[in-house]
Amino acid sequence: MLDPTTYKLFLTISTSSILLPITGGLIAYKKLNRIDTKLLCYFILFAFVEFTMAWTSRHNINNMPILHIFSMFEYLFLTYLFYSSINDEQYRKMIVITIVLFIGFAIFALFYFSGIFEFNTETVTFESLLLVLYSLCYFNYLSKQIIKEQLNVFKIPMFWLSIGVLFYFTGNFFLFLFQKQIAEINPQLWSLHSILNIMSNSLFMVSFLCKLK
Amino acid sequence: MQTQINISFIIFASAFLAILMVAFVVSFLYITQKRNYKYNESIIQIKQDYESAILNSQIEVQAQTLQQVSEELHDNIGQMLSSVILHIEVLGRKAIPEVKTQAEQTRLLVQEVSEQVRHISRSISPQHIENFGLKDTIQYHADRINRIGVIKIDFKTEGEIREFNPKTELVMFRMVQELMNNAIKHSECENIFIKLKFENERLLISVNDDGKGFDKSQILKNKQFKDGSGLQALEKKARFINCSLTFTSNDKGTKVTLIKDFQNEYN
C-alpha cells in the first residue's frame, strides 16, 4: 500500500508525463509531416484534457462526461492513424467495420451500462481491445513491408506509437474491465495505470524523436 | 478478500502480458528486419559479382578483339601499304618528270596513311598499355588527337609514378579514352585537361573540359541515352576496379575525377 501523499505524487507524475510526447514533438517539429503534426495536436489536446480531469477531480467535480467524449475522440483519432498507415484493403475494411461497431456499442453502453456521469468501463475496454487488435494488424503489415522494402522499423514514428498503444491498452485492459470493482476494493491498484501511462508516453515521445536521426 | 486477490492478480498478469507482447513484437520485427537486411545484402553481392564477371569477360573479349585488329592493321595493312610505297617509288624512278612529281606526292600521302594506321594499331592495342604503362599510353593517345589539331589535350602527371596491374590500368585507360571521346563528341570543347596525380595511398585521375557541360539526371532520363549508355558503363567499370568516380558539370565545362586506392588493387 502506498501512502496517500506518494500515491498523489505518482498520479501527478503520470498526468504530467503527457508533456513528454509534446516535448518530443516540439524538438522534432521541423521534421514532422502532416500526420505527425496532427499527432502533436492530439497530444496537446490530450494534455489539456488530462489537466482538466486532474483539476476537476481535485475540486470534486464529476469529470466523467469529458472522459466519455475524449475516449470516443481518442479511439477515432488513433484508428485514423492506423487506417492511414496500413495500406492493405482487408485490414482497412476490418477497421471501417469495427468503427461502426464501436460507435454503436458506445451509444448502447451509454444508455444501458454506464451513464454519462459514470466511468465508461465497457466502452473503454472495447476500445482497448480494438486498438490492441489494430496495433497487432499494423505489426503484421509492417513485418510484410520489411520484406518488400528495405525498412528500418525503428525509424518509423508509427512503429513507436503502435508499441505505446499496444503496451498501454494491453496492460490496462483488465484494469478498465474491473474498474468498478477496483474502486470498491483497492483504488490504489490504479497506480498500475500510472506506470503504464508514463511508459507509453515515453514511447510516444520516441515516436517523434526517432525522426531526428 | 479472495476477489481482491484474484482481481489484483489478473491486473498484474495483464501488465506482465503487455510487457511480453511488446518484447515479442519488437524482437520479432528486429529479427525479421535483420534477416531481410542480410538477404538483400547477399542479393546485392550476387548481383555485383555477376556484373563484375560479365564486365570482366567483356573486357577480355574486347581486349582480344582489339589485339587482333591491331595485329591485322600492323602486319597486314601496314605491310601492304609499305609495298604500295615501294611500288610508287619504283614507278616514280621510271616515270617521266611530270608524273614523277605526282608519284612523289602520292608516295607521301600513302606514307601518311601508313603512319596513321600504325598509330591506330598501337593505340587500340591492349599490349601497348602492358608494354608502356598507363601514363605513356594516355600520352600517346593525347598526342595522336593533338596532331589532328581540332582539340587541344593538355596532359600532366604529378607525383612519383606507380603501376597497377595491367588489367586495372587497361580499364582505367579505357575510361579515360571514353571520357575524352565523350568530351570531343558532345561537349563542344576546345581544350581537354587530363591529370594523373599519384599520391601516397591513391591515384587521382581528372579529366576536365571547357565545353558546354551536361545534366547527368537529364541524360539518364533521356530515352535516346537509355541504358545510361556511356555514363552507366563508366560507373560499372569504376565499380569493377574498385575506384570512385565523380562528375561535376556546369555550363563552363565538365570535371570527372577517378580515385583509385593502391590498397584496393583488383586482382
Q: Given this model, what pLDDT does residue B193 score?
A: 95
What are the contacts of B246-252 at 24+ separation with CB within 8 A? Answer: B247/B216, B249/B213, B249/B214, B249/B215, B249/B216, B250/B213, B251/B212, B251/B213, B252/B210, B252/B213
Task: Please give the average per-residue pLDDT across B166-193, as a whole number.
Answer: 89
Would you give the end-to-end CA distance of chain A in angstroms? 43
Q: Do B36 and A146 touch (CB under 8 A)?
A: yes
In this structure, the strands spanning B191-198 and B152-158 are parallel
ipTM exceeding 0.85, yes/no: no
Q: Given this model, what pLDDT does residue A136 score?
A: 93
Q: Do A192 and B40 touch (CB under 8 A)?
A: no
Q: Mean pLDDT for chain B?
A: 85
Residues of chain A with Cβ-Cβ distance to B8 below 8 Å are 186, 189
Q: Given this model, what pLDDT does residue B213 score?
A: 86
Q: How confident is the model at residue B131 (pLDDT cuts 50, 70, 90)?
A: confident
The residues spanned by each domain of chain A are 4-209
Residues of chain B with Cβ-Cβ distance to A163 below 8 Å are 22, 25-26
Distance from CA of B19 to the nearest CA of A (A): 7
CA angle A135, A140, A146 (to 5 degrees): 120
**Run of H or E residues at A209:** helix A191-209
**Is pLDDT at B226 greater than 60 in this prediction?**
no
Distance CA B74, CA B76 (A): 6
**Is pLDDT at B4 greater than 80 in this prediction?**
no
Lowest mean pLDDT across A80-84, A88-92, B160-164, B214-218: B214-218
* Residue in B closest to A199 by C-alpha: B19
CATH of A4-209, picked from 3.30.1050, 3.30.450, 1.20.1070, 1.10.10, is 1.20.1070
Q: In this structure, what C-alpha cell is assigned to residue A51?
A: 489537466
Q: H-type helices in chain B, by residue range?
A: 2-71, 78-94, 97-124, 126-148, 166-186, 216-221, 229-240
Q: How confident is the model at residue B227 (pLDDT cuts 50, 70, 90)?
A: very low
Residues of chain A with Cβ-Cβ distance to B40 below 8 Å are 150
Distance from CA of B14 to the nearest CA of A (A): 5
Low-confidence ranges of chain A (pLDDT < 50): none
Q: Which residues contact B250 (CB under 8 A, 6 or more apart)?
A: B213
Q: 3-class SS at A116?
A: coil
Q: Which of B25, B28, B33 sits opposite A163 (nearest CB)?
A: B25
Distance CA B165, CA B171 (A): 10
HSE-CB at A105 with a 13 A cutoff on CA atoms is: 18
Q: How confident is the model at residue B266 (pLDDT cuts 50, 70, 90)?
A: very low
Q: Do A142 and B29 touch (CB under 8 A)?
A: yes
